[in-house]
Amino acid sequence: MQEQVARYDLFIGTKFNNTLEQKNIVGFAFIEDESRYYKIRLMPLPGTIYYLTKNNSSQNKYTLFSKLINKDGRLTFLNPVGSGVLDTNFYDYLEIKIPFFKAQLIMSLYPSKPHFKENQIND
């Protein structure tokens, strides 16, 4: 059986009255079945992968990393480059801030369409 990969849209846009307006897609987040992190791909940076994982100490905070090491099945995330937060008033989206790029990305919490693993761009 093929493993499914969910794809979530990443936008830039204007947050107004807890909705996202003037939104433009700038990338995608992918998560495989039973994975605990998202792979982030941004259109302006082709070939670069970021990793978004939920913080262990919080229910609504995430950290964006630029490096992942998988040694003997043990995952280690390195080089934090941004952070994410689930705002209870902005409940359809996850806000991701990347200070180096002075960017705020908005990730939809609803998958745009399913993919199968071989259709996903591999590491």
Q: Cβ distance 11 to 27 under 8 Å?
A: no
pLDDT the model gives residue 2 = 58
Q: Which domain holds residue 24?
A: 4-119
Amino acid (one-letter) located at 122: N
Tally the domains of the chain: 1
pLDDT the model gives residue 75 = 92
Q: What angle do CA 52, 41, 4 make, to 5 degrees?
A: 75
pLDDT in tens, the chain (123 residues): 456 789 999 999 888 887 788 889 999 999 987 788 999 999 988 889 999 999 999 889 999 999 999 999 899 999 999 999 998 887 789 999 999 888 889 999 989 876 655 444 454
Separation in Å, CA 101 to CA 82, 86, 97, 114: 10, 20, 9, 29
pLDDT the model gives residue 121 = 47
pTM equals 0.84
pLDDT the model gives residue 119 = 47
CA 100 to chain centre: 17
pLDDT the model gives residue 116 = 58
